[in-house]
A = this chain, B = another copy of it.
Amino acid sequence: MTEIGIIAVGGYNEMGRNMTAIRVDEDIIILDMGLRLDRVQIHEDVEIDKMHSLELINMGAIPDDTIMKDVNGNVRAIVCTHGHLDHIGAIPKLAHRYSAPIISTPYTTALIKHQIDSERKFGVKNNLISMKAGETYEITKDVSVEFINTQHSIIDTVFAVIHTPKGAIMYACDFKLDRTPTLGEAPDFNRLKSLGEEGVIALITESTNSGRSGKAPSEQIAHDLVKDVLLGTEESDVGMIITTFASHISRLNSIISFAKEMGRIPILLGRSMDRYMSTAKELGYVDLPGNVEIYGQRREVEKALEKVMRGGKNKYLPIVTGHQGEPGSILIRIANGDLPYIIEPGDKIVFSANVIPNPLTRANRYALETKLRMKGARIYDNVHVSGHAYREDHWELLRMVKPEHVIPAHGTIEMHAAYIEMAEDAGYVLGDTLHLLRNGEELYIEE
């Protein structure tokens, strides 16, 4: 008899710092090692890259993996399903404790490499294994991991499936069932259904948006909304700036294509904008038009904006960091007058992003918008759709995959509560086939 344990390390009591461990007898696979940024942001003058992991654990910023010493087994692999910080951000602080390779898709691997390179406290030397969606990696002779293509707000996101002698365990954090993505392929529904036929022991799934009714709008909707804002105006001669998530390559790709239709030169500005997009380009995920300019360094950014002001604001479309009003981002520096782009009355600022629902980001956004409005900017807010599955997406996934057990993850207890009510509709029973785990807890499944 194989004993399977599902260990909720982090991200079960909160958003961020995601980490789950799956134990198949004595072989352990870790899924994700994420960072909870807002637990860092409540402190002033914190430099994460120099901090020790225990300090970050005490701050609630990274998963408390000290509990792993009580788990009976050895870590054989660390698997990351996409490149967002709440999934890979704790790797520099925690991965070196485990002599195990880190397996992820090519784009995610490149971002993990960057994380490791930026770390100044720990030296992370784990082997990095890059694997595409559709492929499978043998971790031990009995245990393998398969990547199934899905969609999310970052490219190269996958479902991870841990195959064991007794059946599969699927990890679906984070995903969106987008049938009309603007970059990459739709989720592999055929494989999901065949997996469901083969038999899934457990599904570990994000619960983030399970409280929202209906289904998450396709990225195509965001594409069209952004297009309408950028092109559908009788005042096309003004200064226009757009800001979005630097890691949202498909969104950026759309925006760059609209710049062409607008007859404007797209200029990506900001350190993270440079990193995410240049990496995507190098790996061949996007094919940028020749006139795109990308500047990450402070001095380059300044020169680029000087050029824009000289050449005419109506000839360029700056695509910048700062959608949450982050201190040091391009947009807040423009708003503060610290960069040579002058906002004039009637200029349009497009936020192709939601406001992250946290008092700290709300405050930053408020300060940013207030400053922009005082200069006369016109604000287009929330020109965006979410990258997380809604309630009916979860319903459909559950019925395709038909797991024996379901564990909501990646959310607060309120988010899990919404998932539980949905899963009960689908016939699952809390405490029997549906499990509410808290950080630090191990669920035993005997097969």
**Which residues of A does B touch, CB under 8 Å?**
39, 42-44, 60, 177, 179-180, 189, 193, 213-215, 217-218, 220-221, 224-225, 228-229, 232-235, 327, 336, 345, 358-360, 362-367, 370-371, 374, 376, 378-383, 392, 395-396, 399-400, 413-414, 416-417, 420-421, 424-425, 429-431, 436-438, 441
Which chain B residue has the least Cβ–Cβ distance from A435? Answer: B431
Residue among B360, B365, B381, B429 making CB contact with A214, cutoff 8 Å? B381
Known: A218-B228, A366-B42, A430-B436. A234 touches B189 (CB 8 A): yes
Q: Would you list 17 pairs from A and B whose C-beta atoms are within 8 A, ordered by A residue?
A: A42-B366, A42-B370, A60-B374, A179-B228, A179-B232, A214-B383, A215-B228, A217-B225, A218-B224, A218-B228, A234-B400, A235-B399, A413-B420, A424-B438, A430-B438, A431-B437, A431-B441
Closest 9 CB pairs of A and B: A363-B363, A359-B366, A42-B367, A214-B380, A413-B417, A213-B381, A359-B363, A179-B232, A359-B362
Q: Which residues of B contact A218 (CB under 8 A)?
A: 224, 228, 232
A378 touches B359 (CB 8 A): no
- Could you tell me the distance between the alpha carbons of A214 and B378 in the complex, rounded to whole angstroms? 8
Q: Which residues of B contact A370 (CB under 8 A)?
A: 39, 42
A378 touches B395 (CB 8 A): yes
- Could you tell me the distance between the alpha carbons of A255 and B311 in the complex, rounded to whole angstroms? 47
Residue among B179, B359, B380, B417 making CB contact with A414, cutoff 8 Å? B417
Which chain B residue has the least Cβ–Cβ distance from A413? Answer: B417
A193 touches B380 (CB 8 A): no
- Could you tell me the distance between the alpha carbons of A417 and B363 in the complex, rounded to whole angstroms? 24
- Could you tell me the distance between the alpha carbons of A382 and B425 in the complex, rounded to whole angstroms? 21
- Could you tell me the distance between the alpha carbons of A379 and B224 in the complex, rounded to whole angstroms? 25
- Could you tell me the distance between the alpha carbons of A381 and B215 in the complex, rounded to whole angstroms? 9
Known: A221-B221, A431-B441. A235 touches B396 (CB 8 A): yes
Give the shortest distance, in Å, between A309 (CB) and chain B (any CB): 22
Give the shortest distance, in Å, between A429 (CB) and chain B (any CB): 8
- Could you tell me the distance between the alpha carbons of A380 and B177 in the complex, rounded to whole angstroms? 15
Q: Which residues of B contact A438 (CB under 8 A)?
A: 424, 429-431
* Residue among A193, A359, A379, A436 with max Cβ neighbours from chain B (10 Å): A359
A214 touches B379 (CB 8 A): yes
Residue among B228, B363, B381 making CB contact with A217, cutoff 8 Å? B228
- Could you tell me the distance between the alpha carbons of A430 and B430 in the complex, rounded to whole angstroms? 13
B366 touches A234 (CB 8 A): no
Give the shortest distance, in Å, between A359 (CB) and chain B (any CB): 4
Q: Which residues of B contact A345 (CB under 8 A)?
A: 425
* Residue among A220, A228, A365 with max Cβ neighbours from chain B (10 Å): A228
Q: Which residues of B contact A380 (CB under 8 A)?
A: 213-215, 392
Q: Which residues of B contact A441 (CB under 8 A)?
A: 429-431
Q: Which residues of B contact A220 (CB under 8 A)?
A: 224
- Could you tell me the distance between the alpha carbons of A352 and B315 in the complex, rounded to whole angstroms? 40
Give the shortest distance, in Å, between A337 (CB) and chain B (any CB): 11
Residue among B221, B430, B436 making CB contact with A224, cutoff 8 Å? B221
- Could you tell me the distance between the alpha carbons of A292 and B400 in the complex, rounded to whole angstroms? 33
Q: Which residues of B contact A399 (CB under 8 A)?
A: 234-235
- Could you tell me the distance between the alpha carbons of A362 and B382 in the complex, rounded to whole angstroms? 21
A228 touches B180 (CB 8 A): yes
Known: A362-B363, A420-B413. A193 touches B396 (CB 8 A): no
- Could you tell me the distance between the alpha carbons of A159 and B329 in the complex, rounded to whole angstroms? 43
Q: Which residues of B contact A381 (CB under 8 A)?
A: 213-214
Which chain B residue has the least Cβ–Cβ distance from A377? Answer: B425
- Could you tell me the distance between the alpha carbons of A362 and B365 in the complex, rounded to whole angstroms? 13
- Could you tell me the distance between the alpha carbons of A344 and B374 in the complex, rounded to whole angstroms? 45
